[in-house]
Structure 1
Amino acid sequence: MTTLGLLHLVWERAGLHYWRPQFAGHRIDPKALRRAYATSSNIKIQRGITLDQVLCPVVSNDRGILYSTQRTIKDHSEKFRLYVIGRLSSAQADPYGKGYNIELSGVRDGYRMFMSISQAKWERLEKSHSRELAEFSRNEEGLSVFGLFLVTIDPIKNGKYKNFSSVQIEDAALMTTTEQLIPVESRYEAKIVELLVQEERTFIKPLRFDAARELVRPDFILTDIGKKEGYPMEVFGRTDEKYLARKAEKESYYARVFGSDNWWSWNAADGDPIPSLPDHALNQ
């Protein structure tokens, strides 16, 4: 599994790809990453090692998570590569020309990490996650970028920065999320999340993991309309020839599998208004 696949697995196991109205006001970074850490105990990354043993969440104002991360670094940094997870807050070119320096939200609140990535690995990250880095650069209100970083951590034992850690990023995966921490792949999808939340709907954002692009995967699935299989939703956001061919394949698939009236789509790239949503089931 790639690092992105692992990030998706962590998010799904923690239930962060799922939304219902009762979550409003409770889906915040500390609770989300605490849940991600707890559920990672069921993810085996190699024989005898579960993800929680090597996972270091970073978040502001949570002493429990801070203690857990500090303990993981102390107990395992000399034996294993670790995973750091958190919300991206800064990515700046190193002033000495040694790649980029990365900061996560909360890294200054006692985590004492100097995170860096080499120029070659940064360029690979730019290529594989250009969309997420573009969203981060735009700094659009309501959207954030979370990252999972495979790292080597060397505690600094002497000098001015004693008890800090030098963190070298070996691999990374980035994911854009809404204010509710729902992953999205475009600003069009973010608009749909905003609408669904406002309308107090219940839905799932299916995550791709490492699946091939040919796999038909809805952008969202409404789960409050009384159908066991849910109600697929697609946001069509491009107009290039290859994309339109793929769009036709998806339309044919949904019509065949769900019926022409049992799925929803928005032709966002054509400037169409957002269509009405299907009604709630009476028992929801």
Structure 2
Amino acid sequence: MSKGKTYSVQITGLSQGGVFQPHEQLDYDSEWRTRLGDAYANNVEARVICLCRGQNEDLTLRRLVVRYLKDSDRFSLSAWRYSGGQHWQDCRFYSVWADEASAKAYSSSVVTVNGDGTFSITLPVGLSRQNGTSGTPSDVNPASHLRTGKQKPSMSLLGLGHFIWQQSEINTWKPHYVKNRPRSAMWLASRIDSMAQNIRISRLTLSDVLLVSASSDGAQKQKNQMRVRYATENKKRMVAIALLKADATDGYAALQQGHLTLSSPIGFPKLNVSPNVFRACERSFQSELNAWKAGHKVVAVLETEPPTLRFQKIKGRNIPITEAEVIGIALIRVTPRFIPVDSGYEEIIETRLCEQERCFVKPLRFDAEEDTFPDFVLTDVGGKEFVPMEVFGMNTECYAARREVKTEFYNREYGADGWWSWDATLKDAEDSIPPFPEKAS
């Protein structure tokens, strides 16, 4: 935390608080020390907020934790876990990663923060052809990484999707989101497109070659068309992020026949899928494909070879057809609010949390192999940074062993009463979901 710029800090919820400028945040400043001590002693009522992005009525944003360091007899501040991305990139509390496990998944060069606040990301297959050559390495699957136990030298398409979701805070939920702007497919497209302007891959800004869902009369349609022309003329690979077609019966049949259909693909090229890519998708994302066929929302993150233009004679006329070969597909199951979930049980809990107007984050795995990721974390429990939430949804011998490891970990890290769980394998489990930890007043 020593790196980065120090911004003003606001303390609220106490009889005496106020705003402290950077030059006032000194260990030997008696006023600063007293107020931090008050906040530490009254951590349920107190709110300590970083003002790197200015003041905001939402006092859950950019909250800071006050800690007392007994050995040096001083107080220190740190960002609440899962909130580092809310700060400006030059702020001392900023973090690319929400947790250590995600950061450890990659070598240090896979994601870097540039001086202008943008990100540079390394994918297994870059967006530019080298010397005009084609060819995706036969041993590289852009969608997902094998579990090797080593730091990955690149980020998979699934990791890229998780990175965009986290940086855009799509995996975060607060009750006022419903009132401010309901989440729709077009909202998602706008959010992703905006974030893509801050990501560079193969020296390209991702938004230059990104395709997202569009309406037939909106600005995004023109953006998609312009990007396809650019990629075609300059031999650039493309990335598309959109919901799979709602009609899974037709959509899955088309996928088996070599064509990928997405939701509102206005301005997209025709997306062709080889048998090898389809089989790789089935191996890595069978659960998501099953959820799609069962009627749930699933987002596809895919990479294509540079689009090509050909002409096909239809009813005596030469019709131009732009198409692109898909080289990798990653799938993310999401709720109606586009919160990623790994199972139907998780979706039940996500729905209950939203119905009860709770604030929470869905931690994302990226390409990490750590098994102790909580399924959700509540961020509105008084006096606590967060409360981990775990959904136990399987009843196999292997899973039972994993469950025991997780239980021991949570009890050790947070105490037996410091985390929440639901055993979804019990009879009539949905009728006996434990109450959520009490919400702060």
Q: Scaled by the length of structure 1, what TM-score is found? A: 0.90
User: In the alignment, is residue 224 of structure 1 matched against residue 380 of structure 2?
Assistant: yes
The Cα shift of 1:100 comes to 2.2
With over 3 angstroms needed to count, the CA separation of the structure-2 counterparts of 1:247 and 1:60, relative to structure 1, is farther
The aligned residue for residue 205 of structure 2 is 50
The aligned residue for residue 337 of structure 2 is 180
User: In the alignment, is residue 151 of structure 1 matched against residue 151 of structure 2?
Assistant: no
Give identity over the alignment, percent. Answer: 32
Q: Which has the higher contact order (CA 8 A, sep 6+)?
A: 1
| Superposition pairs of residues 1-284 of structure 1, within 5 angstroms | 1-24=155-178, 26-46=182-202, 48-61=203-216, 63-77=218-232, 78-89=234-245, 90-93=251-254, 99-107=257-265, 110-111=266-267, 113-139=269-295, 143-156=296-309, 158-159=311-312, 160=314, 162-212=319-369, 214-271=370-427, 272=429, 273-282=432-441
The answer as to whether partners of 2:196 and 2:207 remain within 8 angstroms in 1 is yes
Q: What is the root-mean-square deviation in Å for CA atoms of aligned residues?
A: 1.9
* More divergent stretch after superposition (249-258 vs 266-275): 266-275
Give, in whole Å, the separation in 2 of the partners of 1:41 and 1:221. 29
Give per-residue Cα distances to partners, 1:119-158, cap 9 Å, x unaligned.
111011001000000011111xxx3000011012434353
The Cα shift of 1:62 comes to 6.0
The Cα shift of 1:235 comes to 0.3
* More divergent stretch after superposition (56-65 vs 251-260): 56-65
- Tell me, what secondary structure is at the counterpart of 1:84? strand
Structure number having the greater helix percentage: 1
With over 3 angstroms needed to count, the CA separation of the structure-2 counterparts of 1:276 and 1:43, relative to structure 1, is same
The answer as to whether partners of 2:308 and 2:322 remain within 8 angstroms in 1 is yes
The answer as to whether partners of 2:215 and 2:264 remain within 8 angstroms in 1 is yes
The answer as to whether partners of 2:228 and 2:268 remain within 8 angstroms in 1 is no
The Cα shift of 1:228 comes to 4.7
Give, in whole Å, the separation in 2 of the partners of 1:227 and 1:70. 50
Q: Scaled by the length of structure 2, what TM-score is found? A: 0.59
* More divergent stretch after superposition (161-170 vs 234-243): 161-170
- Tell me, what secondary structure is at the counterpart of 1:229? coil
Give, in whole Å, the separation in 2 of the partners of 1:112 and 1:82. 10
- Tell me, what secondary structure is at the counterpart of 2:407? helix
The answer as to whether partners of 2:381 and 2:437 remain within 8 angstroms in 1 is yes
- Tell me, what secondary structure is at the counterpart of 1:111? coil
The answer as to whether partners of 1:112 and 1:163 remain within 8 angstroms in 2 is no
Give, in whole Å, the separation in 2 of the partners of 1:178 and 1:125. 21
The aligned residue for residue 63 of structure 2 is none
Give per-residue Cα distances to partners, 1:16-68, cap 9 Å, x unaligned.
1011111125211111221111112222223x223222211124456122111
With over 3 angstroms needed to count, the CA separation of the structure-2 counterparts of 1:196 and 1:157, relative to structure 1, is same
* More divergent stretch after superposition (169-178 vs 114-123): 114-123
Aligned residues: 272
- Which segments of 5 or more consecutive residues in structure 1 lack a partner in the other structure? none
The answer as to whether partners of 1:156 and 1:162 remain within 8 angstroms in 2 is no
Give, in whole Å, the separation in 1 of the partners of 2:215 and 2:344. 26
Q: Which amino acid aligns with 2:239?
A: Y
- Tell me, what secondary structure is at the counterpart of 2:302? strand
Give, in whole Å, the separation in 2 of the partners of 1:206 and 1:162. 47
The answer as to whether partners of 1:189 and 1:235 remain within 8 angstroms in 2 is yes
